[in-house]
Amino acid sequence: MDIFGTIGYRAATIDHICARAGLSKRYFYESFPDSEALLLACYERCVNEFHDAMVAAVTEAPETIEAQVRAALVGYFSAIDADPRGARITLLEVLGVSTTVDEVYAAQRRRFASSIEALAGDAFSTSRLPKPQLDVIAQGIFGVVTSVATQWLLDHRRRPRAQLIDATYVLVLAVLDQLPHAR
């Protein structure tokens, strides 16, 4: 986590990882076939923590779409702010590594998009748009959130987290408000 989250996956070597962990290469290879497998384990751990933080925040929020969207954003941005190494791994380091990593990344994005659809409840369930189109919209909402988070990370988190949450909240609600509903 520390190596991938600071110097990055591409700059990391097995020697770096083993030296930081205080292990020999033999012990590394008993657990992982290569550094890509370790990257995937780190990525899945971090993305699960960030998803769990988002879901936990929503379960504590009042049952209005506005409160739940804000809670989800607070949960997600708070989690990545608390773990900048994990944020770097999930937002930057996994991109373009291999087909295998891309598949895991895509599956996690679909998972977050599904959570967004569930969170948005009536906005999605009463929409007259076909399910495939709603799936793309949910993916787009998550894309906006991760794009804002990635830029924040690249800017060394200079902007206050509350500003990101407020701006992203407006974007998400604007999309949800524009979903055509059955009459």
Taking a C-beta distance cutoff of 8 angstroms, is the pair 138, 124 a contact?
A: yes
Query: In the CATH hierarchy, which fold is given to the domain comprising 43-177?
Result: Tetracycline Repressor; domain 2 (1.10.357)
Percent of the chain residues topping a pLDDT of 70: 99
Is it the case that residue 182 has pLDDT exceeding 80? no
**CB-based burial label for 26 (10 Å; 0-12, 13-18, 19+):** exposed
State pLDDT tens for residues 85-123.
Answer: 999 999 999 999 999 999 999 999 999 999 999 988 788
**CB-based burial label for 182 (10 Å; 0-12, 13-18, 19+):** exposed
CA atoms within 13 A on the CB side of 160: 3
Domains of the chain, by residue range, sit at 43-177
Is the model more confident about 180 or about 78? 78
Compute CA 21 distance to the chain's CA centroid, rounded to the nearest angstrom.
26
pTM of the model: 0.93
pLDDT for res 183? 54
State pLDDT tens for residues 15-60.
Answer: 999 999 999 999 999 999 999 999 999 999 999 999 999 999 999 9
State pLDDT tens for residues 119-140.
Answer: 887 888 889 999 999 999 999 9
**CB-based burial label for 60 (10 Å; 0-12, 13-18, 19+):** exposed
Q: Which of 7, 84, 4 is nearest to 37 (CA)?
A: 4
Which H helix or E strand runs over 101?
Answer: helix 99-120
Sequence-separated (6 or more) residues with CB below 8 Å from residue 31: 38
